[in-house]
Amino acid sequence: MPAESTPGGGGEGRHLVVIGAGIVGACTALHALDRGFRVTLLDPGEPGGEQAASYGNGCWLSVMSVLPPAGPGLWKKVPGFLKDPLGPLAIRWRYFPRVLPWLLAYLRSGWTEARVLRTAHALHTLLSDAPALHRALAERAGVGGLIRRDGLMYVYPSRAEYEAEAMGFRIRRQLGLSWQEIGPEEMRQLQPDLSARYGFGALFEAAGHCTDPGAYVAALVRQAVAEGASLRRTGATGFRIEEGRLKAVRTGDGEIAADRAVICAGARSRPLSAAAGSRVPLESERGYHAVVLGAGVGPRIPVMPSDGKMGITMTRAGLRASGQVEIAGLEAAPNWKRAEILRDHLLRAFPGLSEDLPPDRVRFWMGHRPSMPDGLPCLGPSAATQDIVLAFGHGHVGLVAGARSGEIAAALAAGEALPIALEPYDPQRFG
């Protein structure tokens, strides 16, 4: 795309500036256009580019991802997280003092099953019909084939490992989610390339995935521009607010007059939120992926092995394994050994892959999940003015929750009554 795309014409309605052209921003822009807004999208980077969390996520449209990352008893593992820089959740020592308040709130959010259930109810509201919502948006943008609705699987060495996750499945059942239990014989039929060590699975047929999240987000932004939105390659730095009303969004290229704004800048939303009067405990949960380019073997249905806790998906580029949580802030250099762990797990999970993959067959990536300590996003007006809406902090469910969150953000900007309660996502809930 050019550095700036200007619509040939537009509605005479209010001007909405959407800050951030990731999955939430792209969905917000499209829903805002439907409401008659004149829309400007701001992002210094390429929509769907490698710098964006939307590009590198796990591809899953996972209706079952209703559990917050923290659960009962997780606090016992914190010393191990500090000692093991390559564990599934690692905290860099230098960053520990800075992240300690966030980490304590993170642990409290999953302290009891009752707390986990409350969070699960709120996440379920955002995720329940996500595959259908994304398919509709993708078709609107002419890329309907990127959204697949053929299910997702958790796989285990045996039923015993599956039953060890009883709390999570008990909560999912309370929310009305259903799944099919898969035994060894059917597993071999459904997943012939998967290692024989996995003999039991849970198949969520209502779920789906995206075969190229970066291309999907780029297509949504292109569609928004085609429908009249303006895309400007610059970053927001703050706001001009007078007598409780938004007058302009400040950027590195000057002010943009605006009636409304939505902050959906992912892990970099915190200073903008503060500029709008809302101080939020947003943190980056750094995630990694590894892709084997042109892999000839892989899952027929995307899988998450219980002993790897990473999503494995066949994408347009190749076989992608996504996962890991690293707490180290926005500026620390990547630890590519964490991506190598994902690659090695792919080799174990799919023994048909060559064990001596040449370096040019493997791609590594690291990005920033924007995460709130309670596992729920911020969706609601800022403290300074109702004219600025916060829509970020989705953590591990950014892609899947993006469609519903964008619709909510656009409705809030338009002043519409919503059919759901927004209290669980209130940006002011942390005081």
Number of domains in the chain: 1
- Which pLDDT value is given to residue 87? 76
* Domain-located, residue 99: no
pLDDT of residue 84: 74
Q: Is residue 308 part of a domain?
A: no
**Domain CATH code at residue 30:** 3.50.50.60
Tell me the H-state helices in 305-397. Answer: 336-349
Give the bridge partners for 373, in sequence order: none
Q: Are 302 and 152 in contact (CB under 8 A)?
A: yes
For residue 89, the model assigns a pLDDT of: 83
Can you name the residues that pair with 89 across neighbouring β-strands? 325
Query: Are 120 and 112 within 8 A, CB to CB?
Result: no
Residue 299 lies in a domain: no
Q: How far apart are CA 251 and CA 214, in angstroms?
A: 25
Query: Which pLDDT value is given to residue 10?
Result: 30
Question: Residue 416 has what pLDDT?
Answer: 95
The DSSP result for 391-425, as a single string, is EE-BGGGHHHHHHHHHHHHHHHHHT---SS--GGG
**For residue 310, is it within any domain?**
no
User: Is position 136 within any domain?
Assistant: yes
Whole-model pTM: value is 0.94
Largest CA distance in the chain: 67
User: By residue range, what is the domain housing residue 234?
Assistant: 1-64+113-145+209-281+372-431
Predicted local confidence at residue 13, as pLDDT:
81
Q: Which of 163, 159, 213, 161 is nearest to 182 (CA)?
A: 159
Whether 351 is in a domain gets the answer no
Q: pLDDT below 70 — which residues of the chain?
A: 1-12
Is the residue at 123 inside a domain? yes
DSSP tag of 384: S
Q: Quick check: helix, strand or coil at residue 138? A: helix
> Residue 80 has what pLDDT?
77
Question: Does residue 419 belong to any structural domain of this protein?
Answer: yes
Q: What is the pLDDT of residues 179-233, one digit of tens each?
A: 999 999 999 999 999 999 999 999 999 999 999 999 999 999 999 999 999 999 9
pLDDT tens-digit series, residues 261-316: 999 999 999 999 999 999 999 999 999 999 999 998 999 999 999 998 899 999 99
SS3 state at 102: helix
Q: Which residue has the tokens 């619709």?
A: 407
If DSSP codes are grouped into helix, strand and coil, which group holds residue 110? coil
